[in-house]
Amino acid sequence: MRVYTKEEYEQKKPELIEKIKQGAIFIYPTDTIYGIGCDATNPQAVKKVRLAKGNFARPFSVIAPEKEWIHRNCELIGKEEEWLEKLPGPYTLILNMKSINCVAENVTTNDSLGIRIPGHWCTEIARLANVPIITTSANLTGGLFMTSLNTLNDEIKKHVDFMIDTGDIKGKPSTIVHLYDEEIKVVARN
């Protein structure tokens, strides 16, 4: 696994974005914690992230390339639009999909999808690649989430092509907002 600083990422941005489009698995900082991800439209890359995390059943969320992508691919009525206005921010909105082909089949387990737009420069990765990016905590499923390179699990390292390291992140996972049912359910995670 190659580790890049934010400055090195900036210098190699076109090359790294191309690697992502070709199926690279990578770890990146967000506004909450470190995430592990890939191109969410590439089923082979998604499978590699599942293998790295030991997550073979739970759905993944994505960082949307832009709000327009969310409008094209997810059902947005009154309450969904209101929550969408809170993005960018530390929220994962669970929305019904209009188009199940907007992500690889192995991203989600039903017709809903977790959507993020972090309040962080990492959102440019999805925008520049022009694809949704898997966003899930960079840890083994059920393990402690990653807040620095020092807390990265050795098993995860084996599956990752590169990491963007910006030092310690003093955050916690995003708040999940279930918007696919009549009743809104907000789940704050620690």
Ranges of each domain in the chain: 2-187
CA distances from 151 to 144, 155, 175 (A): 8, 12, 22
Task: State the pLDDT at residue 189.
Answer: 62
Q: Do 179 and 95 touch, CB atoms closer than 8 A?
A: yes
Architecture (CATH level 2) of domain 2-187: Alpha-Beta Complex (3.90)
Extract the residue ranges of the chain whose pLDDT is less than 70. Answer: 188-190
Task: State the pLDDT at residue 150.
Answer: 86
Instruction: Read off the pTM.
Output: 0.93
Full DSSP string of 121-171: TTHHHHHHHTS-EEEEESS-TTSPPPSSGGG--HHHHTT-SEEEE-S----
